[in-house]
Amino acid sequence: MLVLLLAIIEFAYLGIVTASRSCLPLVINVSTPVHITGPYFASWTIDPSRNRLFFDVNFSDPRLQYLAREIGGTGLIRFGGGGADSLTYGGFGGLPSCDSPQPYEYECLNKSTLDALVALSNYSGNRLIFGLDIVPLGGPPPGPPTGPWDPTAARGVLEYLRDAQAPLFGVELGNERNHHGFTPAQQSACFDALSELLREIWPAPLRPALIGPDADGAGNGPPGEMITYLAQFVQLQGGGGALSAMTHHEYLQVDSTSVLNASYLDHTREIAQAVVSGVRAVSPSLPIWAGEIGPHTGNSAGNGSAGNCSDNKLCGRFGSSIWYADSMSAKARAGYDAYFRQDLVGASYALVNTSIPTLPPPASFVGGFSPSSDYYLLYLWKRLVGARVLDVSTAAGGVEPTTRAYAFCTLSSWQPPSGGGGASPPSVTLILINIDPLATACLAIPSFVPPSASLTYFTLTAGEAGEGVQSWGVRLNGKLLQLTANGTLPDLGGKVVPAGQEGGIFLPPLSVSFVVVPGGGALSAC
Q: What residues does each domain of the chain span?
A: 2-30+389-518, 37-359
- The pTM score is 0.91
Q: What whole-number distance in Å separates Cα of residue 69 and Cα of residue 344? A: 12
Q: Tens digit of pLDDT per residue, the chain (526 long)? A: 333 343 333 333 333 333 335 888 889 999 999 999 999 999 999 998 877 778 888 899 999 999 999 998 889 999 999 888 888 899 998 888 887 656 655 688 999 999 999 999 999 999 999 999 997 655 555 667 777 888 988 999 999 999 999 999 999 999 999 988 899 999 999 999 999 999 999 988 899 999 999 999 877 677 999 999 999 999 999 988 899 999 999 988 888 899 999 999 999 999 999 999 999 999 999 999 999 998 875 443 333 333 344 555 687 889 999 999 999 999 999 999 999 999 898 767 789 987 544 334 444 444 468 899 999 999 999 999 999 999 998 655 445 689 999 999 999 999 888 755 566 789 999 999 999 999 999 999 999 999 889 999 999 999 998 899 989 899 999 999 999 988 899 999 999 999 888 789 999 999 999 999 999 788 999 9
3-state helix, strand, coil in the chain (%, to 5): 30, 25, 45
| 2-30+389-518: CATH superfamily | Golgi alpha-mannosidase II (2.60.40.1180)
| Backbone φ, ψ for residue 64 (5° rounding) | -70, -40
Smallest CA-to-CA distance from 68 within 487, 375, 339, 482 is with 375
Residue 422: per-residue pLDDT:
61
Smallest CA-to-CA distance from 449 within 140, 39, 20, 27 is with 27
Residue 262: per-residue pLDDT:
94
| Residues across the chain | 526
Dihedral angle over CA of 185, 189, 190, 191, nearest 10:
100
Count Cβ atoms within 10 A of the Cβ of residue 409 and give its class: 0-12 exposed, 13-18 middle, 19 or more buried: buried
Distance of CA 442 to the CA centre of its chain: 27
Residue 193: per-residue pLDDT:
94
- Going along 252-311, which residue ranges are E strands? 288-294
- Going along 299-423, which residue ranges are E strands? 338-341, 352-353, 370-371, 385-393, 403-410
Residue 141: per-residue pLDDT:
59
User: In whole angstroms, how far apart are CA 492 and each of 41, 82, 315, 319, 382?
Assistant: 21, 35, 23, 20, 13
Count Cβ atoms within 10 A of the Cβ of residue 60 and give its class: 0-12 exposed, 13-18 middle, 19 or more buried: middle
Residue 500: per-residue pLDDT:
82
Radius of gyration of the chain (CA): 23
Count Cβ atoms within 10 A of the Cβ of residue 422 and give its class: 0-12 exposed, 13-18 middle, 19 or more buried: exposed
Count Cβ atoms within 10 A of the Cβ of residue 311 and give its class: 0-12 exposed, 13-18 middle, 19 or more buried: middle
| CB within 8 Å of 196: residues ≥ 6 apart | none
Could you tell me the fold of the domain covering 37-359? TIM Barrel (3.20.20)
